[in-house]
Amino acid sequence: MAIILGTTVALLSIAIIVYPFLGSKKYKLIFGKLGTRDDLRAERLRIYSKIHDLEADLASGDLTDSEFLLIRDQLRVSAARLLKQESVPHRSHDSDELEEEIARQREQSRQASEDRDVF
């Protein structure tokens, strides 16, 4: 009986600790953006790999010079766009949202302390 009770309390504690990170929208907004920069970098590296494969196709004679240059330039433009997106600081939107949440929390705290002072 003690083992079941201990296990239940442990699982409940873990659920309470993990819930804000999985269930709350504001945490999803903050932590959800962490993967985007990595995704952009991975896509950019895939494009570089495609360019390398194109060079091999050109060397083997599978592509003409004009085909190679056209495709390579398109891939370079795509890689440059991804690199630009990676370098843009995403924190401006996130920090604004975070600042708004902090201001709301401070206002609620201030109102709660004023209510306590009245009584």
How far is the C-alpha of 101 from the C-alpha of 93, rounded, in Å?
12
**Does one domain contain both 26 and 38?**
no
Please tell me the total count of domains within the chain: 3
**Does one domain contain both 100 and 80?**
no
**Does one domain contain both 96 and 54?**
no
pLDDT single digits (tens) 95-107: 677 788 888 888 8
**Does one domain contain both 50 and 21?**
no
**Does one domain contain both 68 and 46?**
yes
pLDDT > 90? residue 118:
no
How far is the C-alpha of 54 from the C-alpha of 42, rounded, in Å?
18
46 is in which domain, residue-wise?
Answer: 34-89
How far is the C-alpha of 94 from the C-alpha of 76, rounded, in Å?
30
Question: What is the pTM assigned to this prediction?
Answer: 0.47
**Does one domain contain both 78 and 46?**
yes
pLDDT on residue 50 = 93
- Residue 19 half-sphere exposure toward CB, CA atoms < 13 A: 7
